[in-house]
Amino acid sequence: MVLASVALLLTPTLASAKSKPSAAPELWEMSLDGGRTLSWEHSFNSESEVKPNRGFWNKVVDVIAGAPDYRSMVRPYSIATDSRGRIIVTDPGAEGVHVFDFTQHKYKFIQRQGKGRDSMLTPQCVAVDAQDNVYVTDSDSGEIFVFEASGKYLQTIGRLKGGEGYFKRPTGIAVDSAAQRIYVTDTLRNQVFILDMQGRVLQTIGKTGNGEGEFNLPTELRLDGPNLMVVDAMNFRVQVFDRSGTFQYAVGKIGDSTGAMFRPKAVSVDSEGDLYVVDALWGVVQVFNRQGQLLYYFGSKGTHAGEFQLPAGLFIDHDDRVFVVDSFNRRVQVFHYNGLKKPAREGM
């Protein structure tokens, strides 16, 4: 049987002789002010893409035993990268976290089920610390799960001794390893919690409302330099604070005019200090300067390169690679921003 399978692999078939040439790769690029560009690099959605070149004998085994059962994204939501360049994606639909390592051609799926009260039910947002430990908020259990870079479970934050959690619905999360602080958005409490690394509450920021420093269902947040950026979803804006919680400025507004937001989901910052905000309903990413002026936007509804359906998470790494979680298309799209390393001006 093995020899027959090898023979099948080595023998050209009629189907292969009549096979059509593969489709050309999709191309997408925007030319921006001052020679800047934003180009689409690729997208991915499955474990299989981490190991694209399987050897001859692996293919023989596939013929005999069947192809491997690769994991794919179901309903991806949030994204981050670590110091090793690994891409970490939460997936509430799969009840776990995907870890893609394209450099080492490795893949890991982190989950924690069957642990009673400490089971990870609905992984929402993700962050990493300086040691590449992975922090995941669980919007259902009301807890934060912490894993080593290897995927080994470390601890749960947010459950008190009596079993009562102090988070109603934790969503956004960021870790300041230098200051030994964890920032967590509680969407239902309309607050941001500041914790120490053991999970003790040091301070809260905000209250219910639509004024400066007030929230209406805040979701994702991001640390950038001295700033803490919070997606204030139902106030249709992003609020920016210093790390002690003092309000600095806001970006966005309600409406259908230029610079308005309808369903902001995530925020990140490029090397020039401009803010990228995902709008899930419009299926675009809007780019603002720190004065709140819209510079440009990219994306439209669809399934091709540069098109989105209900985009959610967003992360920009140190090389200005822009990762957008294209949730309903069950994939992550990767763009590359080539800037001038100085503040952009309004008008694009």
Amino acid residing at 111: Q
In the chain, which residues have pLDDT < 50? 1-23, 162, 344-348
Is 114 within the bounds of a domain?
A: yes
User: What is the DSSP track for 201-250?
Assistant: EEEEE--BSSSTT-BSSEEEEEEETTEEEEEEGGGTEEEEEETTS-EEEE
**Helix, strand or coil for residue 277?**
strand
pLDDT of amino acid 63: 56
Strand partners, 134: 128, 147
pLDDT in tens, 122-179: 999 999 999 999 999 999 989 999 999 999 999 999 876 545 568 999 999 999 999 9
Is 228 within the bounds of a domain?
A: yes
Burial of 15 (0-12, 13-18, 19+ CB in 10 A): exposed
Other CB atoms within a 10 A radius of the CB of residue 167 amount to 25
Domain that residue 227 falls in: 29-338
Is 76 within the bounds of a domain?
A: yes
Is 345 within the bounds of a domain?
A: no
Is 348 within the bounds of a domain?
A: no
Angle at 256 between CA 252 and CA 262, to 5 degrees: 55
Is 21 within the bounds of a domain?
A: no
CATH number, domain containing residue 206: 2.120.10.30
Tokens found for residue 164: 């009562």
pLDDT of amino acid 51: 80
Is 249 within the bounds of a domain?
A: yes
For the chain, the domain total comes to 1
pLDDT of amino acid 158: 87
